[in-house]
Amino acid sequence: MKTNNFKKIFRTYLLIFISIILFYGITLEKNDDIYERINRNLEIFGNIYKEITLNYIDELDVDRFIKAGIEGMLNTLDPYTVYYDEKSKDELDLITVGKYGGVGIAIELHDSVVVISDVMTGYEAEKKGLRKGDIILEIDGTNIKGIKLEKIRIMVRGEPGTQVKFLIERNKETFEVVLTRQEIILKNVPYSGFIGDTTDGIGYIKLSRFTVTSVNEIETTIKTLKANNNLKGLILDLRNNGGGLLDAAIGILNKLVPKNNLLLITKGKQIDASGVKRESEEKFFSREEPLLPPEIPIIILINGSTASASEIVAGAIQDLDRGVIVGTKSLGKGLVQQIRDLNYGTKLKLTTKRYFTPSGRWIQQKNYFLENKYGVFKDKFIQEGQTFKTINGRTVYANGGITPDVEVEQIPKGEVYDFLVKKDAFFKFANYYLEKNPEIKTFICTDLVFQEFVKFLKDNEMFYSSAEEIKLTEILEAAKKKKYSDSYINKIENLIEISKKESEKEFLSVKEEIKRIIENEIDRKLLNEEERIKKSFSTDAQLLEAISIVKDIYKYNNILNKQN
């Protein structure tokens, strides 16, 4: 049995190793024999693996040992090249088709505690009474403290029809619940409709991911908005959309961009019949008439979590001057992956190409192939030039990510925000407030609630201290240990008091932003996704800016360098 297991794992690894070398990273001289080198390296690796697993002083888990070896090898590449074993089918289904086997919960990590952050309507978790804020202590008898969040998600997921047992803590009491996994289907479009004054005719679509059904969902949604006969502008919200399938991005662009426009260029390498890797290039064009005529304004909303397929859409819309990009700079992922089927149900998500926007930009933020410390790459790609031109002659950049045409910050960036997030202050206060007010159904963060938040921070020793105040406190402690003079210590103490007042002023200067974040955090526990999106409209600075641009056609055309 042990021998069969060894053969199975070894064959799996062998095929993975061949796949990586065949499709990635080795450029050969004409006289090199790639297959001979692969065989030689595999023989060496196989002997090492066999010797260790059979003769090491302690008995090893051969499955985990080989997986560690695979992950170690892939870590020398980029983070998007990932090996999926036969247990990881749900993860791939989530990426490609937006569905997986689970119980209908989202989880987060707070102070090393796994907390249920969302319970989906209509699924098993909701039916069995799980709530947002419940703490998961064990899954199928395994204490999950210290286990990585991604691994915990895998433990929760599984084949529909199978059961999973949770040990839950709620209000300091524990109980067990057994849930039957179901097929969870995620909405690619969690919200769509008209926004603002009904006479404005501004359609809004929130797109959360790019799967095999995204194109049809977008097409249906746009047609529904058009059926109103009053669609005068469209806002496509790609914020926090981490991407998905390239084909879905191209399909959606076909619904927005005039026919026969270049949408995307991908470049990679392929091995020819003689065993030599050569450059390959593919161009994608719009092949159909768009659903919206060119005179209807389009706004794309992006932020720092907009990535991959989302950036393909935003980059093409920007380069072709088909719409205005609003928000903050996107993540910057300019690499394309393909999923390769291996044996025994395993798969490899493999980076095979770089993509370039229509103007020729490669928007990758981190060049793993240039910065790689392991030296496995024989050639290192560098893009010449950082500035490019759109169709209308506007300057756009390739310095990592898509830079918006109109930049609007959504959350306060600075020491106060970073300090409170590090302390997990918003999450903890939300739990405290809802425990104190269990009957609450809707929430508005008033000045009175803000004062309660300030008191909560002080009571729990989490009130904001500036970097200067912290440094002065450290100097004071050192001075006391070294028994400096009372005069010196008094001066430092006076400076700390002054610094405390300045810290409080700095904290109060972002009061309105803090109130909005408190409200968002509590709303996450009270409202479903659609309700949260709808409620955010009145305070969403990026969305409000997008609406103002759609309503002002002169401003819209001016941004795109069009003649009014």
**Sign of dihedral through CA atoms 42, 44, 47, 48?**
negative
Which residue out of 255, 333, 349, 515 is catalytically annotated? 333
Q: Say if CB 521 and CB 435 are below 8 A apart.
A: no
Residue 475 burial (CB count, 10 A): 16
Q: Give the active site residue among 78, 90, 134, 319.
A: 319
* Alpha-carbon gap, residue 263 to 253, rounded angstroms: 7
Closest CA to 325 of 299, 351, 345, 347: 299
Which of 192, 214, 286, 308 is the catalytic position?
Answer: 308
341 catalytic residue (yes or no): no
Q: How many CB atoms neighbour CB 102 within 10 A?
A: 24
In 10 A of CB 376, how many CB atoms? 13
208 catalytic? Reply is no
Q: Exposure pattern of 381-412 as b/e (b: 16+ CB <10 Å)? A: eebeeeebebeeebebebebbbbbbbebebbb
Q: Which two tokens stand for residue 202?
A: 């501004």
> How far is 484 from 233, CA to CA, in rounded Å?
69
Q: Which of 546, 518, 515 is nearest to 239 (CA)?
A: 546
What phi and psi values does residue 480 have, to the nearest 5 degrees? -65, -40
Does 61 qualify as catalytic in the annotation? no
User: Please, which residues bridge with residue 169 across strands?
Assistant: 135, 174
Which of 152, 173, 123, 313 has its CA nearest to residue 237?
Answer: 313
Measure the CA–CA gap between 17 and 302, rounded to whole angstroms.
37
Active-site amino acid positions: 308, 319, 333
